[in-house]
């Protein structure tokens, strides 16, 4: 029996997690340059080095395996760096703002890397922002429309399969629900016509 691999993201538009280009990795590359700069200034054995090193390592690994998750983690790390909670570069150029006892610092190099991160991955971030401000009804409608779209795509793929092959697909627990639903619908349509 030949197994078919069916991607759960079949038919989705946007960034394909497995096909992120070099441009999408620019911010992580800059973060590694910052981590590497710790070696040049001789502070690689100080405590200030270990936290950023581990965070950037986690972001890199997550970005490699699940790019969209890695983007979010990298964004969080960059926010921590922008507000000087994590030192991602051994040299700091800080803008300080404050009134009285209240104040905060913005690390400009990390801010620049954050802007680059947003620009190079803007499709993902804009899509995430749009979904954040949509109401639940619109989200559910989008989800239902996407499910229907997937089912129709699978129906086209399965259209030339025999009834027996469709029954095998229905019993295959490795297939995603939309593929199984498409096989069921095709069988129902054939029974009505016959």
Write the pLDDT tens digit of every residue in 117-145: 999 998 888 888 877 776 666 777 878 88
Task: Give the pLDDT band (50/70/90) at residue 156.
Answer: very high
pLDDT score of 47: 73
**Residue pair 120/26 in contact by the 8 Å Cβ criterion:** yes
Instruction: Taking residues 39-54, report their average pLDDT.
Output: 76
pLDDT score of 43: 62
The percent of residues above 70 in pLDDT, for the chain, comes to 83
Q: Is the pLDDT of residue 18 over 50?
A: no
Q: Phi-psi region for residue 182, left (φ > 0), alpha (ψ -120 to 50) or beta?
A: alpha
Q: Is the pLDDT of residue 9 over 60?
A: no
Instruction: Taking residues 68-88, report their average pLDDT.
Output: 91
Q: Is the pLDDT of residue 2 over 70?
A: no
Single pTM value for the model: 0.58
- Which pairs count as long-range contacts for 100-108, CB under 8 Å and 24+ apart, including other chains? 106/82, 107/81, 107/82, 107/83
CA dist., res. 108 & res. 96, Å (int) = 10
Domain residue ranges in the chain: 17-133, 136-193
pLDDT score of 116: 94
171-193 as b/e, with b when 16 or more CB fall inside 10 Å?
eeeebeebbbbbbebbbeeeeee
Which has the higher per-residue pLDDT, 55 or 130? 55
pLDDT score of 134: 66
Task: Give the pLDDT band (50/70/90) at residue 75.
Answer: very high
pLDDT score of 45: 63
């Amino acid at each position: 029996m030949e197994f078919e691999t069916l991607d759960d993201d079949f038919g989705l538009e946007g960034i394909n997690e497995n096909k992120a280009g070099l441009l999408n990795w620019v911010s992580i590359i800059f973060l590694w340059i910052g981590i590497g700069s710790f070696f040049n200034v001789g502070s690689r054995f100080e405590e200030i080095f270990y936290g950023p090193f581990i965070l950037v390592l986690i972001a890199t690994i997550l970005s490699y395996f699940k790019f969209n998750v890695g983007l979010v983690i990298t964004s969080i790390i960059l926010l921590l760096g922008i507000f000087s909670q994590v030192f991602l570069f051994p040299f700091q150029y800080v803008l300080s703002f404050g009134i009285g006892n209240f104040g905060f610092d913005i690390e400009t190099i990390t801010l620049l890397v954050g802007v680059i991160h947003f620009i190079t991955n803007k499709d993902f971030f804009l899509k995430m922002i749009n979904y954040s401000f949509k109401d639940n009804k619109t989200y559910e409608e989008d989800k239902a429309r996407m499910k229907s779209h997937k089912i129709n795509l699978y129906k086209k793929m399965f259209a030339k399969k025999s009834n027996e092959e469709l029954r095998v697909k229905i019993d295959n627990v490795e297939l995603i629900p939309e593929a199984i639903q498409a096989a069921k619908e095709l069988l129902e349509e054939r029974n009505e016509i016959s």
